[in-house]
């Protein structure tokens, strides 16, 4: 049976009613369009530069469903290339990280250097008669840019510069990670796969409403101390192209109290926010915002910036969750060890918090497939029509309110803009601006 696909994506996200059509989480045609219109067009997080410090160091990642290689070249630059030989398409890199001198295709031996150039073709003289224009058959290269060590890539030549793409909301979000000092990725990117649509995973990162129920077992078992935040005092910052930061306000008093409350390494030691460097990078609203940033579409900056969580679509009904952990290189060994253990215990598939999330999202995803359930939209109406956007800090339009669903609905509005726009010029012209009342 064929499902008729509505081409009017904006009708699937009703920002006035605060509803989202369930079909966007399960329709195969919509998923395919997302790969083209969002992932092949946006800036995608690849890695932190500390993961590939030396020439030939590489890390495999994805742009949507396209496998790509992020690699350090001999001049110190970072390139991102499609992991597909130009001859028959075979992967030219099969290890997920490591160090190479070049990329050898194991099918017929076409070889590419660290800048993606085709430098070796067996039988170039004898079989190709030197007619193959090797300079035209290098690996497909992405545009690569770096913000404070965070490497992003896009396959769209019309995409704006990364800095403009991120805007102040995205830059403040990434700065929350960079502000922890001379940060480097701790070895071991945790990866697992969930049976959910990628958007329901992204949706959850702004969700401070679920904590008391989804994660009830964490305080009950004694793992999580009482959260030093207030549900009734939250900050939401909304950015162009779908970036957002949402969650509780953190004050200097809360930070002191939280740090004092714990003997070892506090889960909530956020006194880094009280440094002049943090204030310069984040501004007063950013410093006070303990919320979770998302760099649209799928990079969550978690744990107050110490961890990044990437949500990679694997078909409409599966998502890979990748956790990157960053710590200051100058941290004492004891503190580093305690911090690593805290991260290991909190998030990741065995995390005391994260274990309980996945089934909620996969059951939600299941209920977007069946014919009757999918007729009924999901509800994102919390605080709808009461979110007054003010720009007290330039470039950071923000709402001060209680727990709400503004950032989720903003993400879906942006999603509809991305899906509607035929190309980057159209998206630049026609996308929701964070202003007024939402």
Contact residues: another protein, CB under 8 A: 94-100, 186-195, 214, 216-218, 220-223, 320, 323, 325, 336-337, 340-341, 343-345, 348-350, 352, 354-356, 358-360, 362
CB of 346 to another protein, least distance (A): 11
> Alpha helices of 86-230 — where are they, by DSSP H?
162-178, 198-204, 211-214, 217-220
Nearer to another protein (CB atom), residue 91 or residue 279: 91
| Gap between the Cα atoms of 179 and 277, Å rounded | 7
* SS3 labels along 51-81: HCCCCCEEEEEEECCEEEEEEECCCCCEEEE
CB of 434 to another protein, least distance (A): 34
Contact between residue 214 and residue 203 where contact means Cβ atoms under 8 Å apart: no
CB of 60 to another protein, least distance (A): 9
To the nearest 10°, report the CA torsion of 363, 366, 368, 374: -100
Contact between residue 96 and residue 59 where contact means Cβ atoms under 8 Å apart: yes
Contact between residue 153 and residue 116 where contact means Cβ atoms under 8 Å apart: no
Here the contacts of 351-360 (C-beta below 8 Å, separation 24 or greater) are 352/217, 352/218, 352/221, 352/223, 352/224, 353/215, 353/218, 353/224, 356/214, 356/215, 356/217, 357/204, 357/214, 358/194, 358/195, 358/196, 360/210, 360/214
DSSP string covering 385-430, please? T--B-B-SSTT--EEEESS-SHHHHHHHHHHHHHHH-SSHHHHHHS
CB of 245 to another protein, least distance (A): 25
Nearer to another protein (CB atom), residue 178 or residue 185: 185
Nearer to another protein (CB atom), residue 369 or residue 402: 369
CB of 214 to another protein, least distance (A): 7
Nearer to another protein (CB atom), residue 214 or residue 420: 214
CB of 2 to another protein, least distance (A): 27
| Gap between the Cα atoms of 388 and 407, Å rounded | 13
Residues with Cβ within 8 Å of residue 404, at least 6 apart in sequence: 234, 236, 246, 382, 383, 387
Contact between residue 301 and residue 292 where contact means Cβ atoms under 8 Å apart: yes
CB of 332 to another protein, least distance (A): 13
CB of 306 to another protein, least distance (A): 12
Contact between residue 395 and residue 225 where contact means Cβ atoms under 8 Å apart: no
- The strand pairing partners of 104, in sequence order, are 111
CB of 155 to another protein, least distance (A): 23
CB of 333 to another protein, least distance (A): 9
């Amino acid at each position: 049976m064929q499902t008729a696909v509505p081409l009017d994506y904006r009708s699937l996200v009703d920002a006035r009613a605060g509803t989202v059509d369930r079909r966007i989480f399960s329709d195969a045609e919509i998923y395919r369009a997302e790969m083209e219109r969002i992932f092949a067009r946006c800036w995608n997080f690849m890695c932190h530069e500390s993961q590939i410090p030396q020439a030939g160091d590489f890390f495999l990642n994805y742009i949507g469903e396209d496998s790509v290689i992020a690699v350090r070249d001999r001049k110190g630059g970072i390139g991102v290339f499609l992991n597909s030989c130009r001859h028959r398409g075979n992967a030219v890199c099969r290890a997920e990280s490591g160090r190479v001198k070049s990329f050898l295709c194991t099918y017929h031996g076409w070889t590419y250097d660290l800048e993606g150039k085709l430098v070796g073709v067996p039988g170039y003289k004898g079989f190709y008669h030197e007619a193959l224009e090797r300079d035209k058959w290098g690996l497909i290269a992405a545009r690569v840019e770096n913000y404070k060590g965070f490497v992003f890539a896009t396959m769209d030549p019309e995409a704006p510069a990364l800095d403009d793409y991120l805007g102040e909301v995205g830059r403040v979000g990434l700065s929350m990670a960079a502000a922890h000092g001379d940060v480097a990725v701790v070895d071991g990117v945790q990866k697992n796969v969930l049976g959910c649509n990628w958007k329901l995973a992204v949706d959850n990162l702004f969700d401070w409403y679920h904590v008391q129920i989804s994660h009830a077992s964490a305080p009950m078992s004694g793992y999580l101390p009482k959260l030093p935040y207030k549900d009734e005092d939250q900050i939401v910052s909304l950015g162009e192209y779908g970036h957002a930061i949402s969650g509780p306000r953190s004050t200097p008093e809360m930070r002191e109290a939280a740090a004092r409350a714990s003997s070892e390494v506090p889960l909530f030691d956020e006194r880094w926010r009280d440094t002049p460097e943090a204030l310069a990078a984040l501004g007063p609203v950013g410093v006070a915002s303990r919320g979770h940033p998302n760099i649209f579409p799928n990079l969550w900056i978690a744990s107050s910036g110490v961890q990044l969580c990437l949500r990679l679509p694997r078909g409409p009904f599966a998502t890979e969750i990748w956790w990157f952990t960053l710590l200051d290189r100058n941290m004492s060994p004891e503190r580093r060890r305690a911090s690593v253990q805290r991260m290991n215990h909190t998030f990741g598939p065995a995390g005391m918090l994260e274990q309980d999330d996945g089934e909620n999202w996969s059951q939600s995803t299941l209920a977007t497939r069946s014919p009757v359930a999918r007729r009924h939209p999901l509800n994102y109406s919390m605080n709808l029509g009461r979110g007054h956007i003010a720009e007290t800090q330039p470039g950071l339009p923000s709402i001060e309110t209680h727990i709400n669903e503004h950032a989720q609905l903003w993400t879906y509005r942006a999603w509809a803009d991305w899906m509607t726009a035929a190309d980057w010029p159209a998206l630049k012209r026609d996308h929701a601006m964070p202003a007024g009342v939402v």
